[in-house]
Structure 1
Amino acid sequence: MGVFEIYKQLLKAFGNQNWWPVENNFHPKEWEICAGAILTQNTNWNNVEKALNNMRKAGCVTIEDVLEIDEKDLRELIKPAGFYKQKAERLKIFAEAVGSSENLKTFLRKTSRENLLRIKGIGPETADSVLLYAGNRRFFVVDAYTKRVFSRLGFFPENQNYETVRKFFEKNLPKNIKIYKEFHALIVKLAKDFCRKKPFCEKCPLKDCSFKGVRK
């Protein structure tokens, strides 16, 4: 079974996921995606939502707000996301790199992936999340769920490096931004609901999976 066939099976099983989830309280809305991509590092999305909600309540919803707020106060707002000292610094550094809310869309459209990766605290997964979901640019997002699922399907080892996995998906999928977004979200859903660390294979929609030692 090929990669695109897996995408179609998951889409049929789960339907459109319509990621990235935004509340449209941040301005511009792409800024919420960028902030969320930084806040979600090493934590789950529920914690990110709590941090973003704290920022909304405090009126810290634009790049200018993040630049102006005292870093200690920003730490308190984003504390639910964990690593709050590190992430507060990273939010401010990223905001400085963009410059202003008015400049964000231009930044997302024109900055190269290489330049994004030069910003302190922006690794490959965060960079690709920003480019794909906020910038609508064709970079496939790889995370731990992607590696877990597709290593079990036999495509590559779970410890395969990020760039190799990203290029594998970009080579084997149609050059379509919507598919990139949906597939990433569908993989996350599969990994959370079925392909867990201790997998629940009985009702998994990928019936052709031959993950040894799991299916009985």
Structure 2
Amino acid sequence: MPATLTDDLNLIYDALFAAFGHQHWWPAKTPFETMVGAILTQNVSWKNAAQAIRNLEDAGMLDPHLLAAAEAADIARLIVPSRYYNQKAERVRGFARVYVAEFGADPETMASVETGELRERLLALRGFGKETTDTILLYVCKKPVFVVDAYTRRIFSRYGLLPEGASYDQTQRLFAGNLAPDAELFNDYHAQIVRLGNTTCRRTPVCDRCPIREVRGKIRCAVGRG
């Protein structure tokens, strides 16, 4: 039988898992920390976002009620490492207010909302794009929503599974339409993609170290071809 996109995507995931092991994402102590991290990591490395989170924690401010009531300037001073800290302070405070007022600061209450409805509510928040929203849906609410980032587009266009310049929705459909809706799989698959993009499939790729450069001789990266 001819290979399907499902086969291809599963082969790639299996090769990444064999190379890197389970990634145990998202790296956070609490669901609320994950939510704040999803906001702070916008347009910056996770290392910078993590430092900003540590600053909030050290100041005793990593609490939805405290952040909802805080002055934006006070939040901004603590999250300077995350860049665009004034904008992000407003986004963190705005989200914290909704999280407290509408969900009682309870991740289980938030997760109980139907996926499409919750996604639309989060997307309506100022500064919340699809990646930030889907990160919260997947990593906090355990919804089977595939998170897309720049690494996903880069890697899978190089493999010819996406066209150059694929949109967020087009990229998400590649996974959602060809894999079972499994939150645990989507969780680790996205984390594996981030690991590959960080270490190997960079803008200037290190192809000789790539664990999926050639998967069983049939899925081949265009960049790695001589």
Task: Establish whether TM, by shorter chain, passes 0.5.
Answer: yes
Q: Distance in 2 between matches of 1:143 and 1:108?
A: 22
After superposition, the Cα gap between the structure-2 partners of 1:95 and 1:213, relative to the gap in structure 1 and judged at 3 Å, is closer
Q: Cα deviations across residues 90-118 of structure 1 (Å, max 9, x unaligned)?
A: 01111111125543431233152112111
Q: Cα deviations across residues 132-159 of structure 1 (Å, max 9, x unaligned)?
A: 0011111000000000000000011231
Confirm or deny that 1:13 pairs with 2:7: no
Shift of residue 190, structure 1, vs aligned partner: 0.8
Q: TM-score, normalised by structure 2?
A: 0.89
Confirm or deny that 1:148 pairs with 2:149: no
Confirm or deny that 1:106 pairs with 2:109: yes
Paired letter, 2:127: G
- Residue in 2 that maps onto 1:96: 97
Q: TM-score, normalised by structure 1?
A: 0.93
Pairwise mapping of residues 24-173 of structure 1 onto structure 2 (< 5 A)?
A: 24=29, 29-99=30-100, 102-110=105-113, 112-173=118-179
Aligned counterpart in structure 1 of residue 222 of structure 2, from 185, 190, 212: 212
User: What are structure 1's unaligned runs of at least 5 residues?
Assistant: none
CA RMSD of aligned residues (A): 1.5
Q: Cα deviations across residues 164-196 of structure 1 (Å, max 9, x unaligned)?
A: 111210111222111101000001111111111
Cα pair 1:4 1:172 within 8 Å, conserved = no
Shift of residue 86, structure 1, vs aligned partner: 0.5
Larger deviation: 130-139 or 205-214? 205-214
Q: Cα deviations across residues 17-50 of structure 1 (Å, max 9, x unaligned)?
A: 000001x2xxxx1100100000000000000111
Shift of residue 211, structure 1, vs aligned partner: 3.3
Larger deviation: 52-61 or 95-104? 95-104
Shift of residue 213, structure 1, vs aligned partner: 4.9
After superposition, the Cα gap between the structure-2 partners of 1:149 and 1:17, relative to the gap in structure 1 and judged at 3 Å, is same
Paired letter, 1:198: T
Cα pair 1:201 1:215 within 8 Å, conserved = no
User: What are structure 2's unaligned runs of at least 5 residues?
Assistant: 1-6
Paired letter, 1:71: A
Q: Cα deviations across residues 71-96 of structure 1 (Å, max 9, x unaligned)?
A: 11100100100000100000111111
Q: Distance in 1 between matches of 2:59 and 2:67?
A: 11
Q: Distance in 1 between matches of 2:106 and 2:182?
A: 26
Q: Distance in 2 between matches of 1:204 and 1:123?
A: 30
**Counterpart secondary structure, 2:112:** helix
Task: Could you list the structure 1 runs, at least 4 aligned residues long, displaced by more than 4 angstroms after superposition.
Answer: none
